[in-house]
């Protein structure tokens, strides 16, 4: 069964506790938290005080996605939130292997995210060390964007690379995910779907989560 990690970036920030409780009572697997710094991506989202409040109410594991420069500076802060997954961008880490080892040393699952223009081949040497690879299927920085179609083929290539390198890493996809794109991604080898607008703008978000899990 596909895992679903709803993106809190699309939640109603005026009613954040209500939306978190809705997710707690849903079949979703993780909470996806998008941290943006206005430097690595052209937007600013939320930081640690807001995430701390989210973590206090969340009853599902936290999937923290850092779209920031020098993410390695915040490994201990992410751990202090109680995060299960820490996701850093390949494009933001000069010494990626070291960062992955530091994340694992704190007891978190280590994920690497690739922007749409970055080929999966860059992970050839590090794939066996990873717990998770996330592909951006939109350009990072904003919610509600249109799905980039070639992400389906890229997911397939990533699945082949992970199988070839005997990596146990899960494949997570973030951006423009809905029932139709999600079905294609799962068929291509995706394990986890990040969905923001598709969940929070649905007439019945909990039903939408259930539908995404059973594509």
- Just list the catalytic residues: 34, 174
Phi/psi of residue 46, each to 5°? -145, 160
Neighbours of 26 (CB within 10 A): 19
Assign 92 to helix, strand or coil: helix
The C-alpha atoms of residue 37 and residue 46 are separated, in whole angstroms, by 8
The C-alpha atoms of residue 105 and residue 108 are separated, in whole angstroms, by 7
Cβ 175 vs Cβ 152: under 8 Å: no
Element holding 88 (H helix, E strand): strand 85-89
Beta strands 132-136 and 170-174, pairing class: parallel
């Amino acid at each position: 069964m596909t895992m679903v990690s709803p993106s809190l970036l699309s939640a109603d920030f005026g009613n954040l506790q209500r939306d978190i409780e809705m997710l707690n009572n849903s079949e979703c697997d993780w909470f996806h938290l998008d941290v943006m710094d206005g430097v690595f991506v052209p937007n600013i989202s939320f930081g640690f005080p807001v995430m701390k409040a989210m973590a206090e109410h969340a009853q599902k594991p936290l999937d923290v996605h850092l779209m920031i420069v020098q993410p390695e500076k915040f490994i201990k802060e992410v751990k202090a939130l109680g995060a299960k997954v820490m996701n850093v961008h390949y494009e933001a880490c000069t010494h990626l292997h070291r960062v992955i080892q530091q994340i694992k040393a704190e007891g978190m699952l280590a994920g690497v995210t690739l922007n749409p223009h970055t080929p999966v081949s860059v992970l050839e040497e590090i794939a066996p060390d990873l717990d998770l690879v996330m592909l951006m299927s939109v350009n990072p920085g904003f919610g509600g964007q249109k799905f980039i179609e070639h992400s389906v083929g890229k997911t397939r290539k990533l699945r082949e690379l992970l199988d070839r390198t005997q990596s146990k890493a899960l494949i997570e996809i973030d951006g423009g995910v809905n029932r139709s794109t999600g079905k294609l991604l799962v068929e291509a080898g995706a394990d986890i779907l990040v969905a923001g607008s598709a969940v929070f703008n649905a007439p019945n978000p909990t039903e939408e989560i259930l539908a995404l899990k059973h594509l």
